[in-house]
A and B are shown apart, each in its own frame.
Chain A
Amino acid sequence: MFDSLTSKLGDIFDGLTKRGALSEGDVDAALREIRLALLEADVALDVVKDFIEAVRQRAVGEEVLRSVTPGQMVIKIVHDNMVEMLGGDGSAGDAPGLDETGVNLAGPPPVAIMMVGLQGSGKTTTSAKLALRIQKREKKKVMMASLDVYRPAAQQQLAVLGEQAEVVTLPMVMGEQPLAIAKRAMDSARREGCDVVILDTAGRLHIDQELMDEVAKVSAATNPIETLLVADAMTGQDAVTMAREFNEKVGITGIVLTRVDGDARGGAALSMRAVTGKPIKLMGVGEKLDELESFQAARVAGRIMGQGDVVGLVEKAAETINKEDAEKLAKKMMKGQFSLNDMADQLAQIRKMGDVGGLMGMIPGISKMKKQMAETNIDDKMIVRQQAIISSMTAGEREKPKVLNGSRRRRIAAGSGTSVQEVNRLLKQFKQMGTMMKKMGKMGKKGLLGGMGGGMPPGMMPPGMR
């Protein structure tokens, strides 16, 4: 379910003997599937072709390691190749003069950072996120200026975000043109002793010659140390043309991938990186100003291949879940000793992990579950209510839910400020979970979540999900 590419490749290789080197025939069959997977992930056609060729050369003749299947072996080669092509993890951050975000700030202050991209890609939001990050982490003084004189309330949007981030924004002057605003921003930053000026530009189409000229002029006048192309992770095949044009006409130094918190496969990342050769430096993972992260190639590679954002998921889980507790709980559950007390613990853990929907959403192909979650209304609020229900029970009731007759249920509903229906629903879910856990115990490692990197204790399934 989480790993359709792996299972497809498994099918292809099933008929083959497991040992020995990968033959050309094996590899070709696998590459056809991989080609499709990449196209469905929005990787541009030309990039797919180059990529497949590179993988072919690497894979043919490769010894299949003892512990893995040929399918897994090919996946690994594909994965490694993709991580490499995406620029590796944190590679940009190693060069001298770069801060840990990989954003270059070295130069006589004030240095300019210019944000460019298509309409609505996330430039203004990212400007504020980046300003906040530089100001907080690098302890540098940042000023932001909006050069967007076209979109209604664009300058105001940046000003509001500046207030939220406690970052200075250049005061607006009605009727001033972008080039003049940029120059005024640099002057005033110099006077006010700012280290960094972030120039937020208007969204523009790469085929709009007039607007591309405009931004090129701003670039010439301010000589930005970074020109970041802000692009949506959901972008389709045209990402390649768009990135090429921005790079040729304006000269970009890096890419910011936004809306990585969505469930898009994000193949555009690979296309843009391949066609411009410029590093992807940052990714936006939400609308809030602290939701900006350094680019992680392995994580994005996993998504492009349709394996879900396993890294992100596991990381998030690991951050919040005490591993030993989880293992203990898992063992108990598999033995069928799962009590309502354990369920309460589990609810608390799920809540700690934050937005349940967001978490599950990191896995593409999980839309069915999302739907069920929406239907059953699993959200933070519901979890709070369920916790209230359990805490309104006596210790005895929690250990032996069988004793919960109608009058006890009514008492619990009143005590927790919920309804009898909700209490019933919780008990039903509890029962279902018990059954599911037992099943999973039987399936062992191949269990529902076993394929997700092994870091996920089975108890993490939100209740009520079948």
Chain B
Amino acid sequence: MNEEPKGGWLSRLKQGLSRSAAKLADPITAAFTKRRLDAAAIEELEELLIGADLGVATASKITGNFARTRFDKEVDSDEVRTALAEEIEKILEPVAKPFTVDTDLRPHVVLVCGVNGSGKTTSIGKLAWQLKAQGLTVMMAAADTFRAAAIEQLQIWGERTDSVVIAGKPGADAAGLAYDAFAQAKRQGVDVLLIDTAGRLQNKADLMAELEKIIRVIRKIDESAPHDCLLVLDATVGQNAHSQVEVFKDLVDVSGLMLTKLDGTARGGVVVALAEKFALPVNAIGVGEGVDDMRPFEARAFARSLMGLS
């Protein structure tokens, strides 16, 4: 396994993020070594932000705010970058909230959902690792009973993090399994129960209904469960992230987002637009496939890295 981190986590994060940002920042430098901020220049800036998946609306809002104070002035690339990073940071600041556990609940039930392949199972492994490091006890529920070897995959994460995994047979009822796991976690007084669910595209009504059913069934034990419902988003995703958040939020009351694969050139820019539109907390980011590759989401670091600033 490629688990040993190269360098400290902060440098890895920066490395990952700035790799993503390199492409975005360079054209800014190219376009703006002292230049008058005219309409054409603003359009170019807007395009650069769109090119980082911020989407048309958010990109033009950000550049618009910037232009209001600096229009027709001579600006250089550093000034542009710093100002845009500040605008982005302002948008992200309110959503940068780390994941916290309520230890009175025993268990704090966390339902992890999202589209196929976004990184749900891996994120559960990483989250368990962090929680264990805080001295908490963790149980996992393998409620993805559909995908081939999904159960085995979670069991390996259970071994790696020394967490108990409650699993059934492939094809078993996901809601029933989640219920059993919850009952067991309660009996054992476990601090956190992480429920892994099958990947589902948000436009599949039947699969979304299945997710609602899981919630309905675990509420038979505790009306307030799940205490968190985390939506896992792949940072390479484009504008479809809007539809994902919208539908999952409506149907299962998402409490926070986890943004994975930020170690790529995935700029994750869409999260800026999401923050504006939905104001959902971003609870964590994934920066690799290893067990310790989860980080808190930091607005300033993210915004500045996105703009190619250290």
Chain B: CB-nearest residue to A155? B149
Give the interface segment out of B93-101, B219-227, B230-238: B230-238
Contact, CB under 8 Å: B2 / A265: no
Q: Mark B245-265, 1 if CB is under 8 A from A, else 0.
A: 011001100000000010111
Complex-state Cα separation, A377 to B23, whole angstroms: 46
Complex-state Cα separation, A42 to B243, whole angstroms: 13
Q: A39-B56, A160-B148, A287-B146 are in contact. Are A355 and B19 (CB under 8 A)?
A: no
Q: Which among A41, A161, A237, A264 has the highest number of chain B CB atoms within 10 Å? A: A237
Complex-state Cα separation, A206 to B19, whole angstroms: 11
Complex-state Cα separation, A160 to B51, whole angstroms: 39
Q: A153-B152, A262-B115 are in contact. Are A42 and B238 (CB under 8 A)?
A: yes
Whether, in the assembled complex, A164 has its beta carbon less than 8 Å from a beta carbon of chain B, the answer is yes
Give the interface segment out of B28-36, B82-90, B174-182, B198-206: B198-206
> What total of chain A residues lie within 8 Å of the partner, measured CB to CB?
61
Whether, in the assembled complex, B136 has its beta carbon less than 8 Å from a beta carbon of chain A, the answer is no
- Distance to closest chain B CB from A153 (angstroms): 4
Give the interface segment out of A20-28, A78-86, A366-374: A366-374
Contact, CB under 8 Å: B117 / A122: yes
Contacts of A237 in B (CB 8 A): 50-53, 238, 267, 269
Contact, CB under 8 Å: A151 / B234: no
Contact, CB under 8 Å: A45 / B247: no
Contact, CB under 8 Å: B148 / A361: no
Contact, CB under 8 Å: A150 / B2: yes
Complex-state Cα separation, A377 to B1, whole angstroms: 44
Q: Which residues from 188 to 206 on chain A have a C-beta closer than 8 Å to any C-beta of chain B?
A: 205-206
Whether, in the assembled complex, B276 has its beta carbon less than 8 Å from a beta carbon of chain A, the answer is no
Whether, in the assembled complex, A386 has its beta carbon less than 8 Å from a beta carbon of chain B, the answer is no
Measured as residues with beta carbon below 8 angstroms from the partner, the interface class of chain B is 35 or more
Q: Which among A161, A234, A235, A239 has the highest number of chain B CB atoms within 10 Å? A: A234
Q: A153-B153, A367-B246 are in contact. Are A262 and B203 (CB under 8 A)?
A: yes
- Distance to closest chain B CB from A266 (angstroms): 9
Contact, CB under 8 Å: A379 / B247: no
Chain A: CB-nearest residue to B156? A152
Q: Which residues from 42 to 66 on chain B have a C-beta closer than 8 Å to any C-beta of chain A?
A: 47, 50-53, 55-56
- Distance to closest chain A CB from B288 (angstroms): 9
Complex-state Cα separation, A367 to B156, whole angstroms: 37
Complex-state Cα separation, A358 to B201, whole angstroms: 10
Complex-state Cα separation, A361 to B115, whole angstroms: 14
Q: A152-B153, A160-B149, A287-B147 are in contact. Are A41 and B239 (CB under 8 A)?
A: yes
Complex-state Cα separation, A171 to B39, whole angstroms: 62
Q: Mark A243-270, 1 if CB is under 8 A from B, else 0.
A: 0000000000000000101111101100
Contacts of A379 in B (CB 8 A): 205-206, 209
Compute the total of residue contacts between A and B using a CB distance below 8 Å: 180
Partner of B247, one of A40, A159, A234, A370: A370
Contacts of B23 in A (CB 8 A): 241
Whether, in the assembled complex, B193 has its beta carbon less than 8 Å from a beta carbon of chain A, the answer is no
Contacts of A157 in B (CB 8 A): 147-150, 152-153
Contact, CB under 8 Å: A45 / B239: no
Complex-state Cα separation, A157 to B160, whole angstroms: 19
Q: A357-B205, A371-B250, A374-B209 are in contact. Are A207 and B148 (CB under 8 A)?
A: no
Contacts of B157 in A (CB 8 A): 152
Contacts of A373 in B (CB 8 A): 205
Q: Mark A347-364, 1 if CB is under 8 A from B, else 0.
A: 000000001111011001
Complex-state Cα separation, A157 to B205, whole angstroms: 26
Whether, in the assembled complex, A380 has its beta carbon less than 8 Å from a beta carbon of chain B, the answer is yes
- Distance to closest chain A CB from B263 (angstroms): 7
Whether, in the assembled complex, A121 has its beta carbon less than 8 Å from a beta carbon of chain B, the answer is yes
Complex-state Cα separation, A347 to B263, whole angstroms: 49
Contact, CB under 8 Å: B251 / A374: yes
Contact, CB under 8 Å: A259 / B148: no
Contact, CB under 8 Å: A268 / B238: yes
Q: Which among B115, B156, B160, B239 has the highest number of chain A CB atoms within 10 Å? A: B239
Q: A236-B270, A237-B53, A374-B208 are in contact. Are A120 and B117 (CB under 8 A)?
A: yes
Interface positions of B (Cβ within 8 A of A): 1-2, 19, 23, 47, 50-53, 55-56, 115-119, 146-150, 152-153, 155-157, 160, 199, 201-206, 208-209, 234, 236-240, 243, 246-247, 250-251, 261, 263-267, 269-270, 289
Q: List 13 A-B contacts (CB under 8 A).
A: A40-B55, A44-B51, A119-B119, A120-B117, A156-B149, A235-B238, A236-B267, A236-B270, A238-B265, A262-B201, A263-B240, A357-B206, A379-B205
Q: A120-B119, A121-B117 are in contact. List 7 more A-B contacts (CB 8 A).
A: A153-B149, A236-B239, A236-B267, A268-B238, A287-B146, A373-B205, A374-B250
* Nearest 5 A/B pairs, CB to CB: A357-B205, A236-B238, A361-B203, A120-B117, A42-B238
